[in-house]
A and B are shown apart, each in its own frame.
Chain A
Amino acid sequence: MPIQYYIYFCLALFSIGVVGVLTRRNAIIVFMCIELMLNAVNLLLVAFSKMYNGLAVQNGVANTAGIDAQIFVFFIMVVAAAEVSIGLAIIVMMYRNTHSIDINFLNRLKN
C-alpha cells in the first residue's frame, strides 16, 4: 500500500477535526474533535514507522528499526488520557459557573 494513501486518509480525518473545532459551539464536541485530530496523527506515525521498518529490512539493517515511533504513539496516548481528565474537569467547572457549555461565553479574558 503506497504511503500516500495513508497520508490522504489521515489528512482527511485531521481536516474533519479542524472543521469541527471551527464550526461547533459545544465545548465537549470541540474537545472530541481534538481527540479525532490526535488519532489521525497517531495513525500516520504508525504508518511511517512501518514504512521505515520495511525499508530497513530491505536494506538488511536492524530488524527493529522504526520501533521508536510506536513507543511515541504509546506515550501520546498516555498524555492524551491525562489531558482528557483535566479538560473534562475544566468543562464541568465551567458548567457549574456559567450553566452552559457554549464556548462563546468564554470571552472574559478579552476585556
Chain B
Amino acid sequence: MNIVEILFYALSVFAIVCAIMVLISKNPIHSVLWLILVFFAISGHYILLNAQFLAIVNIIVYAGAIMVLFLFVIMLINVKKDSEPQKQLFVKLIGVIAGGSFLTLSISLVKQAMPLVGKTVPLKEGTIGLIHPLGKALFNDYVVPFEISSVLFLSAMVGAVLIGKK
C-alpha cells in the first residue's frame, strides 16, 4: 500500500466522520465547523486527483464564502442552542433506515455493474485539472455559459437584496 492509497483512505474516513458529526451535533455553529472540515477533506481528494484548480476553487468558494455566509446567518438570527424541538424517535429511525437502504441498494448495483470492472482512476497524474487546459477550454468552448453565469449572479444578487429587504 503506497502513500497515495493511505491518503485516499485517511481522507475518506475523515470526511465521513466529519459528515456524521454535522448530523449529530446539536449546536448549528458546530455543524458549520464540521462541514468546513468535510470540504477541506474533499479538497484533499481533488488534489489527489490532480484537479488543482477545483481544489483551490472549492476552498475559496465553499469553505471560504458559503460557510461564512452560513455562520453569518446563524449569528444574525440568534437561535437558542436547544430551541430545535426534537423529532420523535421513530421519525429519526425511519430516516436512517431510508438512507441506509438507499446506500445498500446503490452499492449492490455498483458491485454488479460490468462496465465499471477494471476501470481505474489515475491518481497524481494527468494534466486536465491544471489551470492552463481548463482556462483554454473555459474561454474557447464555454465562453457563452461563462458570460450567462455572470447574468445569473446579477439576478441572484438582486433577488437576495429584494427578499432580504423588509
A residues with a Cβ closer than 8 A to B are 1-9, 11-13, 15-20, 22-26, 28-29, 31-33, 35-36, 39, 42-43, 46-47, 49-51, 53-55, 57, 63-68, 70-71, 73-75, 77-86, 88-93, 95-96, 100-102
Contacts and interface: CB of A to CB of B under 8 A. Distances in A.
B27 to A, nearest CB: 10
A106 B87 CA distance: 15
Contacts of B8: 1, 5
Given A16-B23, A70-B51, A81 B46 contact: no
By Cβ-Cβ distance, the 8 closest A-B pairs, closest first, are A22-B95, A19-B99, A82-B156, A23-B95, A15-B103, A89-B163, A54-B122, A89-B160
A20 B22 contact: yes
B39 A15 contact: no
A77 B58 contact: yes
Given A13-B15, A25-B87, A47-B121, A67 B22 contact: no
A68 B99 CA distance: 31
The contact size tier of chain B is 35 or more
Q: Is the interface of A mostly helix, strand, loop or mixed?
A: helix
Contacts of B65: 81
B3 interface: no
A16 B133 contact: no
Interface of B: 4-5, 8, 12, 15-16, 19-20, 22-23, 28, 31-32, 35, 38-39, 42, 45-46, 49-51, 53-54, 57-58, 61-62, 65-66, 69-70, 73-74, 76-77, 79, 83-87, 91-92, 94-96, 98-100, 102-103, 106-107, 110-111, 116, 119-123, 126-129, 133-134, 137-138, 141-142, 145, 149, 152-153, 156-157, 159-160, 163-164, 166
Q: Is the interface of B mostly helix, strand, loop or mixed?
A: helix
B110 A89 contact: no
